[in-house]
C-alpha cells in the first residue's frame, strides 16, 4: 500500500521570463541538489527556456490548473503582457520573481527615454549601424509569403503588478536561492503562507541595519567617488568613504551579499515598506551627509555624483512615484 506522501498529487509549477536578462532563470537552477526535492514534489509544466512547449499548450491548460508560477522580467511589450495575463488566469499563486517583475529592474531605466528615441538610437544612430533608409521594426510587415508579426513595443516599461494581480514578491537581482526554496517548500509542505502581497524573505528595516561595516552617527561627506576611484578599506561604511551605497533606501534580507563582496548596495531588494520612493529617500539621506554650508560648495559636491537618477532608481523607476520621464 502506498503511503500518503507517494499518493499525494504533485504540484504544477511554471516559470516564465518577460523583459529580463536570464539571471533569474539561472538562479532557479542554483538550488543544486535541492532540485531533486522540488522535482519529486512538483511537475514543471511550462518553462519555454527549458522545455519544448508552445504558447498554445499553455492556452489549452484549464484555468487555475497551475499551482505556482514564477514570473521574472518586466513588461516591455504586448507578448510579455499577454503571457502575464494568461499565466494569471491559469495560476493559483503568481509570484513576481526578481527585481524586474517586482519593480521594473534594469529594463525599467528605459522609462527615462521614449520608444522613438530608443529606436532611433538602436536602429539608426549607433556608431556601428549602417541603416541609410532608417528602417525600424514594425508590428506587422507584409511580404509575398504573407504577414510577419512582432510584439508591440510599449512606450513604458511596466512591473508585473501593473498588469495583473500578484500574490507574492521575491526580490533581488537575482533572488537568493534560499528564498526560492523557502517559498516552494512551504507550498509543497502545505505550510501556512504569508499574507498576500508579501515581499518574501525581506526585512522591514534597511540594509544599513544589517550591514556589519563600521559607521558613525553623523556621516560627513566632502567628496563623492566612483568605486574604482578609491581603494576600499573593507571595513568602513561606503557612504562615509564617499561611495554611493543605496543601503539607506533598500530593505534588508539579502544578507548584504554585495557589501560583503566589497561592492556598495545597488538597491535590488527595493525600498523598505515605510519608504514611498527610493530615489527621494536617497536624496534625503545624502543631503544630510554633505559636509558644507555654502550653496556653491554643496552644488559642486552633488555634481560629483554620476547619473544620480539612474543610480538612485536603478531597479525601481517604473514602480516609483515619478515612474518615468515626462514627455
User: HEC string of 170-192?
Assistant: ECCCCCCHHHHHHHHHHHHHCCC
Distance, in Å, from the CA atom of 35 to the CA atom of 44, rounded to the nearest integer, reads: 11
- Kindly report the pTM of this predicted structure: 0.91
Mean pLDDT score, 30-57: 90
Tell me how far apart the alpha carbons of residues 252 and 206 are, in angstroms, rounded to a whole number: 5
Contact 13, 67 (CB under 8 A): yes
Report the C-alpha gap between 185 and 163 in whole angstroms.
27
Q: Which helix (H) or strand (E) holds 11?
A: strand 11-17
Taking every pair of C-alpha atoms in the chain, what is the biggest distance, in angstroms?
Answer: 82
Between 201 and 163, name the one with better pLDDT: 163
- At residue 1, the pLDDT reads 43
**Sign of the C-alpha dihedral computed for residues 53, 56, 185 and 266 taken in this order:** positive
* Higher pLDDT among residues 116 and 6, named by residue: 116
Tell me the percentage of the chain whose pLDDT exceeds 70. Answer: 98
Q: What is the pLDDT of residue 6?
A: 55
Evaluate if residue 48 carries a pLDDT over 70: yes
Please compute the mean of the pLDDT values over residues 236-262 and round it to a whole number: 94
Q: How close are the terminal C-alpha atoms of the chain, in Å?
A: 68
Whether the predicted pLDDT of 76 surpasses 80: yes
Distance between CA atoms of residues 279 and 189, nearest Å: 39
- Residue 4 reports pLDDT greater than 70: no
Going along the chain from its start, the domains and CATH numbers come out as 4-106+155-199 (3.40.50.700), 113-153 (no CATH), 207-319 (no CATH)
Convert the pLDDT of each residue in 176-222 to its tens digit. 888 888 888 888 888 888 899 999 888 899 999 999 999 988 788 99
Cα separation of 22 and 50, whole Å?
12
Q: Nearest-CA neighbor of 309 among 83, 86, 110?
A: 110
Where residue 108 falls among pLDDT bands split at 50, 70, 90? very high
Taking all residues of the chain, what is their mean pLDDT, rounded to a whole number? 92
Q: Specify the pLDDT at position 249.
A: 96
Dist. CA 180–CA 162, nearest whole Å: 23
* For residues 291-297, average pLDDT: 92
pLDDT of residue 218: 79
Q: Average the pLDDT over 83-87 and give the result.
A: 98
DSSP for 127-145, written as a single string? TT---TT-----SEEEETT
Amino acid at each position: 500500500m502506498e503511503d500518503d506522501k507517494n499518493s499525494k498529487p504533485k504540484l504544477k509549477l511554471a516559470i516564465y521570463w518577460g523583459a529580463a536578462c536570464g539571471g533569474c532563470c539561472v538562479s532557479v537552477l542554483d538550488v543544486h541538489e535541492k532540485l531533486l526535492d522540488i522535482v519529486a514534489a512538483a511537475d514543471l509544466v511550462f518553462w519555454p527556456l527549458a522545455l519544448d512547449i508552445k504558447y498554445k499548450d499553455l492556452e489549452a491548460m484549464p484555468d487555475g490548473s497551475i499551482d505556482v508560477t514564477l514570473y521574472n522580467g518586466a513588461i516591455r511589450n504586448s507578448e510579455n503582457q499577454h503571457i502575464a495575463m494568461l499565466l494569471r488566469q491559469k495560476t493559483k499563486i503568481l509570484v513576481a520573481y526578481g527585481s524586474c517583475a517586482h519593480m521594473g529592474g534594469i529594463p525599467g531605466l528605459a522609462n527615462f527615454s521614449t520608444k522613438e528615441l530608443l529606436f532611433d538610437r538602436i536602429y539608426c544612430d549607433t556608431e556601428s549601424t549602417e541603416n541609410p533608409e532608417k528602417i525600424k521594426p514594425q508590428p506587422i510587415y507584409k511580404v509575398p509569403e504573407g504577414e510577419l508579426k512582432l510584439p508591440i513595443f510599449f512606450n513604458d516599461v511596466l512591473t508585473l503588478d501593473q498588469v495583473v494581480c500578484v500574490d507574492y514578491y521575491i526580490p533581488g537581482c537575482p533572488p537568493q536561492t534560499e528564498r526560492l526554496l523557502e517559498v516552494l517548500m512551504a507550498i509543497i509542505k502545505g505550510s501556512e503562507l504569508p499574507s498576500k502581497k508579501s515581499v518574501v524573505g525581506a526585512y522591514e528595516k534597511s540594509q544599513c541595519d544589517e550591514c556589519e561595516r563600521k559607521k558613525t552617527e553623523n556621516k560627513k561627506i566632502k567628496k563623492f567617488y566612483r568605486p574604482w576611484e578609491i581603494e576600499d578599506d573593507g571595513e568602513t561604511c561606503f557612504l562615509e568613504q564617499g561611495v554611493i551605497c543605496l543601503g539607506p533606501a533598500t530593505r534588508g534580507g539579502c544578507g548584504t551579499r554585495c557589501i560583503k563582496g566589497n561592492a556598495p548596495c545597488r538597491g535590488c531588494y527595493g525600498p523598505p515598506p515605510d519608504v514611498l520612493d527610493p530615489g527621494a529617500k536617497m536624496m534625503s539621506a545624502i543631503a544630510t551627509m554633505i559636509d558644507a554650508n555654502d550653496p556653491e560648495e554643496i552644488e559642486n559636491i552633488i555634481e560629483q555624483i554620476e547619473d544620480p537618477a539612474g543610480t538612485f532608481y536603478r531597479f525601481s523607476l517604473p514602480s516609483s512615484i515619478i515612474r518615468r520621464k515626462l514627455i
